[in-house]
Amino acid sequence: MMNKNKYPFVTSMTCFSGAFDYPQKTALGVNLVIEKEKGAIGVFASSGLGWLLNDYFMILSIFPYMFDPNKSIGEIITLGKAKYYSNYFFWPQAKSMVYQYNLIGDPAIKLPFPEDKAIVNIERKILSATDSLKIQIQSQISSGTASLIISDSIHVLRNEFSIPIQNGRGSITIRPPTRSGFVKAFISDNQRTESGFSSFRIGGAFVGDYSFVPDNPKPGDSLSLSGRVEIENQILPDSVKFVVYRYKSRSGRFDFLLGRDTLACEGGGTNVYRAVKKIPILAGTRYLIHMIAYSTGKVFVGDWKEIIVKGLPDPSLIPQQLSQFQGSIYLKSQNLKFIADSTIKLSLKVYNLSDVDANNFKIKIYHSFRDENYLIGQTRFSVRGNSFADVVVPIDKDLNIGTYTIYAVVESDSLSGDDLDYSNNLVYNMLTYGFVKFNSDSISITQNISLKRGSESVSLIAFEYPTAVQLSYVANNFYPVRPLGEQRNFIVKYDALNNNSEVKIFVKIDLSDQNLNQNKDRIKLYQYDDKTRIFRLKGGSFVGEWFQASLSESGIYTLGFSNDAKAPRIEVTVEGQSFRDGAHVSANPVFSILIEDDEGVDISKESLRFKIDGRDVRYSDITIPDTISNPKNVFVKLNPKLTEGEHSGSFSARDVNGNWSDEVRISFKVVSNFDIKIYGNFPNPFSDRTFFAYEIFGAPVEEVEFKIYTVAGRLIQNFKFPSNDPREIYGFQIGGTGIPTAIGYHEIWWDGTDRDGIEVANGVYFYKFSVKREGKIQNFTGKIARVR
Amino acid sequence: MIMKIKFLKVLFPLFLFFSLAYSDNSKYAGEFLRIPIGARALGMGGAFIAIANDGSSFYYNPAGVAISGSGILSFMYSSQFGGITSPLASFFHLGFIQNVQNLGIAVNWVRLSVEDIPLTPDFTSVQTPVDRENLVKSYTGGGLFNDIEDAFYFSFSREFRFNINFGWSRYRVPVSMPIGMNFKLLNQKLGSERGTGFGLDIGVMFRFSMDDFLQSENIGDVSISLALKDLGKTRIAWSTRREHFVESTIMFGLAYTLPVNFISGKVTVAYGSQNSYLTDRLYGFEYSYRDLLFVRFGKSAENLTLGAGVKIDFLAVDYAFLAHDLGAVHRISGSLTIEKILKKL
C-alpha cells in the first residue's frame, strides 16, 4: 500500500489485526498506521478473537455513520458501537466486541469523500478478448483532471493514469489489463471532487444498471423499471424480465413476503430493456427488484435492488424510546394491567410511532400462549400519529385465580389497513388474575376456601389468594394460621369492586393441631390497616372445622390469634393541658386523646368510642393523623363545638386484638365570656423561686407577657409567649402547664434573676402582666417581694 | 508554727464573722435610692445633675447644696406608677437646707413605701401542676405586708469662687466650683425583715458664664457636674444575715441656661448620664417666664416626662408627670423659703 498522500482508512473485521496490547509484537493495524509514507490513515480492528457473525454485525452497525463527512472517525465508531450494542446486546460476545474493536489512529480525523457523482460509461461492459475498453466520463467539473484506476474483480490495482477533463467530458481507450474488473474515476479541479465507477468483463454477461421512473417513488405512483443486459459476443438475450418481490416492514427486521411480480421487458435502446408494465407503489412496502435475462438456455441474473416507500401507521405496544434501542420483540411491559369495576378488563398503552393515524386496529389478549385457544379478549382501537392511547380490552373468558403470562398483540386487517412495523406489536407481562365471578351464591376458591355472596347484586369481586403480599405482623403475640393443607399463612387481598353487599369467607382449618384447637375461640379474621401498618381484629367464628367471617370492606386479610388481653390506656388532654374534672375550656376546645397499647391501637370506626354529653362522636369528627409512625401510641384529636355550661365526655378505644380500654370520663365547663383571673405570685415574699399564676377563660389569647421591674421602674426581666427568644419563654417552661395562651390555668416561674441571669437583691419588685387578644392589650400590675 | 497558730487565732473570729453573713453580688440593692427626687427635676427627665439648685440638689449632686439657697423647706409626694389613687408605691421627701458660714448644710429624709403586698404561701415544691392549681385556686389567705424604705441624707457643701486666667491675659473668667458630700443612712423594713446601711456620695460642679468666657452679653451660663454616689459600694445588711451592696453610680451632667429677653424668660437645656449597671441618658428642657411660671419636659431613659411649676414669693410648687410602662408617675413638690416667711411675719 504505497499510496503516498492517499492513505486509506482500513476496517479489519477479523481476529487480532488490532492487537496493540502485545508487548513484543506490533499488530498489523499498528504497523499500517505507523509506517512512513505508506499504510493507512487509521485502522479499525480487533485486539482479540473475531466472532464471524458479530464482526459482521459490528461493521454493519458502523456503516450507516461511516460515510458522513461531517463526523470524525471517533464519533463514527462510538455511534456505531452504540448501535451495535443496542441491537445485539443479547449475544454473549456483545460486550467483548465493544471492548475489543478499537480505532488505531487519530479519532479526530474526518474522512474526505468525493462530493459529487461522475458518470463513468464504458461502451460495452462485456468485451471480447480483442476488444479495447472505451471509457467515457461525464462530469459536472468542466475542466480538471480525472485519475483513473483499473482494478481487477477483487479490487487489486492493475493500472493507474490520468486524463484531462474538458467541457465536462473526458475519454480514453485502452487495452483492458485484466479479464474482469472495475474502472474507477476520481475527478478534481482542486476545488470540487467527483467520483464514479463502472465494471467490465471479458466474456460472460452483465445484467444491472437498473433505473426507475420516477426516481423517488411516492405511494400511489406507478413505477417504470429499466435495466441493461449485455452478453458476450454481443448476443442479444431471448427474453428479459424483472422480478419484483414485495415485502412488509420498513425496518427489514421481520419481512413478510406479500407477493412476487414478474414483468416482461422489451428493448429500449442499446442493451437497455424496459418493463412492459408499470408496478403500483404501496406505502410501507419494501420492493426487491432484479432483472433476469435468458439466452440460448442460459440464465443471467442481475444484482438485487431495493426500494422502500414510507407512509403507514405504526401502532406499537413499545414506546418510541424502547422501540429504537431494544432488539427484542418480546418485551415485558408494566403497562399491561388487569382492572375491574363491574367487569374485568385489561388496560394497556398503545403508541403510534408513525405520523399517520392508526385507525381501527385490532388488539388481542392471550394468556399463557399466543394461540387462538388462549385468546381471552379483543377489541379495536385507534391512535393518532406520534401519540399514544390507553386501551381497555374487556376480558371475555374466565380464568382461574393465579398468575399468568398475558400477551397483547396488535393486528392489522382489512378494516385497519397495513402496519408499518410488525416487530413492535407484541408485549407481555406477568399478571395475577385475582377475580371471582359469582355465577352462584357460593364459589370455591380452593378445596379449603370458599366465598359466599351476601346478595345477588354481587357479581364480581377481586380476590387474590395466596398472594405475593408479604406483610410483617407487628404485634409480638400474634400467631398466624394456615388453611388446611396449605403451606403458607392465610393472607388474602379482597376488593369489593363497588359492591355494597358483603361477602362471607369460609376457611377450613386443621384443628387437630393441639395449639390451634386450644385457641380455637381466639382465632379471628384480621384486617390490615394501611395507616397503622398492622393487622387489626375483624371477627369471625368457627362452625365445625370451618372458620367463617365476613369480608365487610376491601383490604388485606389474615387469620390468626393473639394472647394479648391487655387493654389500651387512654389519656385525655385539652389544649395541651392535662385534663382535670371541671376544667374550663373554650366553646370549641381541642381534646387530644392519647391511646397506648403494647400490641397496637385499632383506629377504625368501630374501635373509637367517644362520647360528648352522652352522645356518640361521629368518626368523621375525629382527627386521625395522616401518618402514624408508631401504632402503639396514637394521638387523635377532637374539636367539638359546645354550648356554654357544664359538659361531660367519655372516651374508650380498642386495641388490634379487640381489648377495650377502660372508659375515661371527664367533665368540663365552657365559659364563653373571655376573662382573665390573676392569682398573683406564690410564694410572696419568695427566697429562691416563685410562680405567678393566672387563668384564661372563654377564649385563648394571642400573647402573654410578664415583665419585672425594680421599684425605680427599671425593667430587669421579661417572659413572653409566644416568642422566638428562648430566654423569653423560659419562665413558661418550668411549670409545664400547657400552652400559656390557651384557656385554663397557667404559671410563670421566676427564679429571682434578671435578664443577665444574676440574682436580684432583697426588696420589692413590680410586675406587669399583659395579655393580648384580638389586638387589644390588657395589663395587670403587682408586687413581688424577695427576702433571703 | 507558732506564727501560724497566732495567725489562725487572729483570723478565726474573722472567719466566724464573715461566715455569719452571706454577701453576694446580687443586683439592684437599694434601688429606691435611684428614684429621682423633686417634681422640678423629674419634669426635666431627671437631667438635673448639672442644675442641682433647689431642695432636691442633694440627690443630684451634693455640691449643689451650697448653691441652693438657705432656709428652705422642701417636700414632695410622688405616686410611683399607676395613678394617684392606688399606686404601686408612694414616695416622699422632706428636707431642709441652710447655709451656715458659707457652708451649705442639708438634712433630707426620703421614704418609699410599698403597701399591701399580698402574702402568699410557698407551693413551689408541689410537683404536679394540677395539685398546684388546686392549692392556688383554693388559697384565700389574703394576708398583706408592707415595705418601708427610708434614707436619711446629711449633706455638706461649699462653693469656691475664683477666676481662671487664660494665659495671654486678655481676660479672666470668674468661675464657681461647689464641692459637697452626702452621708446617708438607709433603713429598709420589708415585712418582718430589716436591712440597714450607711453610704457616702461626693460631688463637684463647675459653673461659669459664657458672657465672661466669650466676652459677650446674654449668651448664657454653663454648668458641668460630676457626682459619685455610693462610693465604694454602700453595704446593706439584712436581718436575714445577708449583705447586699449598692453599686456605685457615676453621674455626669451638663446644663446650659440662656436668657431669652423677647419672651421675658430663660431657657435651660440639660443633659445627664448616670452609670449604674447600664448607662441611662437623661434629657431635660425648662422654660421659665419671669422666674414665675415654669414649663418643663424631658426624657428619662426611655420615659417621657412633663412638668410645670409656679413660684410666688416664698412658695414654689411644681408638678411632674412621667409616662411609664407600669403606669404613670404623678408627683407634686413644694418648697418654702423660711426666711421670707419670717420677714413677712
What whole-number percentage of chain A has pLDDT above 90? Answer: 29
A552 pLDDT more than 90: no
The pTM of the full predicted model, rounded to 2 decimals, is: 0.53
Please report, to the nearest 10 degrees, the dihedral formed by the alpha carbons of residues A639, A640, A642, A645 taken in order: -70
Rounded CA gap, A489 and A714, in Å?
A: 76
* Residue A689 touches chain B, beta carbons under 8 Å: yes
Nearest C-alpha of chain B: how many angstroms from A720? Answer: 15
Q: Which residues 697-756 of chain A have a CB within 8 Å of chain B? A: 707, 709-716, 735-737, 745, 747, 749, 754, 756
Q: Is the dihedral of CA A694, A699, A705, A710 positive or negative?
A: negative
* Residue A20 touches chain B, beta carbons under 8 Å: no
Strand B242-246 with B234-238, pairing: antiparallel
pLDDT at A311: 66
* Residue A785 touches chain B, beta carbons under 8 Å: yes
Strand A583-585 with A615-616, pairing: unpaired
State the first-to-last Cα distance of chain B, in angstroms, to the nearest integer. 78
B56 pLDDT more than 50: yes
> Cβ of A747 and B129 within 8 Å?
yes
> Cβ of B129 and A735 within 8 Å?
yes
pLDDT (tens digit per residue) in A162-174: 999 999 899 999 8
- In sequence order, what E strands does A28-129 have? 42-46, 101-105, 116-117, 119-122, 126-127
A532 pLDDT more than 90: no
Confidence of residue B72 (pLDDT cuts 50, 70, 90): very high
Rounded CA gap, A395 and A363, in Å?
A: 12
What is the average per-residue pLDDT within A705-734? 89
- Chain B residues with CB under 8 Å of A758 CB are 25-27
A683: nearest CB among B112, B120, B190: B120
Question: What phi and psi, each to the nearest 5 degrees, are found at residue A47?
Answer: -90, -5
Confidence of residue B16 (pLDDT cuts 50, 70, 90): very low
The C-alpha cell that represents A743 in the structure block: 384557656
What is the average per-residue pLDDT within B225-250? 91
Nearest Cα residue to B339 out of B138, B72, B15: B72
pLDDT at A11: 92
Q: From B188, which residue of chain A is nearest by alpha-carbon distance?
A: A763
pLDDT (tens digit per residue) in B272-304: 999 888 889 999 999 999 889 999 999 998 899
Query: Which neighbouring-strand residues pair with A151?
Result: A157, A182
- Chain A residues with CB under 8 Å of B137 CB are 679, 745
Q: Contact, A452 vs A504, CB < 8 A?
A: yes
What is the average per-residue pLDDT within A158-162? 88
> Cβ of A711 and B242 within 8 Å?
no
A683: nearest CB among B121, B242, B244: B121
Q: What one-character-per-residue DSSP string does A246-301 give?
A: EEE-SSSSS--EEEEEEEEEEE-STTEEEESS-EEPPTTEEEEEEEEEEETTEEEE
What is the average per-residue pLDDT within A185-211? 87
pLDDT at B321: 95
Nearest C-alpha of chain B: how many angstroms from A660? Answer: 28
What is the average per-residue pLDDT within A291-298? 88
Element (H, E) at A711: none
> Cβ of B31 and A712 within 8 Å?
yes
Q: From B301, which residue of chain A is nearest by alpha-carbon distance?
A: A714
Nearest Cα residue to A365 out of A325, A397, A321, A327: A397
Q: Contact, A362 vs A380, CB < 8 A?
A: yes
Q: What one-character-per-residue DSSP string does A485-533 give?
A: T-SS--EEEEE-TT--S-EEEEEE--TTSHHHHHTGGG-EEEEEETTTT
Confidence of residue B1 (pLDDT cuts 50, 70, 90): very low
What is the average per-residue pLDDT within A239-248? 86
pLDDT at A114: 81
pLDDT at B145: 93
Q: Which residues 543-602 of chain A have a CB within 8 Å of chain B? A: 577-578, 580
Rounded CA gap, B244 and B339, in Å?
A: 42
pLDDT (tens digit per residue) in A76-119: 999 999 989 888 888 888 889 999 999 999 999 988 888 778 88
Helices A73-88, A53-66: axis angle to 10 degrees equals 130
pLDDT (tens digit per residue) in B75-132: 999 999 987 888 999 999 999 999 988 899 999 999 999 999 999 999 988 888 888 8
Confidence of residue A474 (pLDDT cuts 50, 70, 90): low
Confidence of residue A330 (pLDDT cuts 50, 70, 90): low
What whole-number percentage of chain A has pLDDT above 70? Answer: 94
Predicted complex ipTM: 0.91
